[in-house]
Chain A
């Protein structure tokens, strides 16, 4: 799933400076599952904005709504009536949803209330971990099902660097959290699978043109196109 974190309240206030009529728009898919931008979170943000405006002695007409998916035209159509009433939309969807909203309602000022951060999974309750870099050329079949592109801090393809120690990466995460060394995990997994030969193979440079280094990507399924 796509995960996102809410922007600091101060940053949202800054984006909304001088705005008097605002709709907070949640999304019921990925950002709702990661407890960031679903209907409940949209309601909370709208309430916070309202309270803050009252405290500051400002007039603010704020309400909230939520789309089943902000990244699909049909679900945006479903909330169009409400959106049309507001000149400003604060979207709590991922970056895809925010852009879809802006494209569907070109006359509206659409602003982000979240930072979209990764393709991850809930490792445990309330903890999400990055799992995929959407590189366009999946190597999981030869790496024991562990992605070296995003789980190795240096995206190495030929084994661990010299900084791997006690199963950990030399890098600590942005919140000072310890990061497991992806290549230690890959190493252990391939040995357990009896596929250690894969560790000895010199893997050639990756084709990054299939990632966004090749420019923004478009996927077309000819067979699914309407005739």
Chain B
């Protein structure tokens, strides 16, 4: 009888590095997780930083003074980039989770098609939208860069 029980993740984190037969969607998955982790670290720090406004203007300006450096500005832009990717790819993931863009089941007739290939144009579209958002935000970041 075929084993239908829980199967362990044999590759662990190494599975993030190679798409194998899963193609570009596996790399999108890896990037989704990496950007998610980066956003989480930033967000936890952001909670502490933004809470400093409750301690008054002096504390707020001191904290902002520490963060007003090129290194933090570049880091902030990288987080913005991560957010744009994570959000747009997340929309695609939610849509496919709910069954959108996957098509209906069909006979395996050559040339073969599958649900992953059928949703691939959506991946391209969301990446283009993410790129536009990154470019718009990038111009805004450059304008706000220290010394500008």
**Bind each other:** no
B positions within 8 Å CB-CB of A: none
A positions within 8 Å CB-CB of B: none
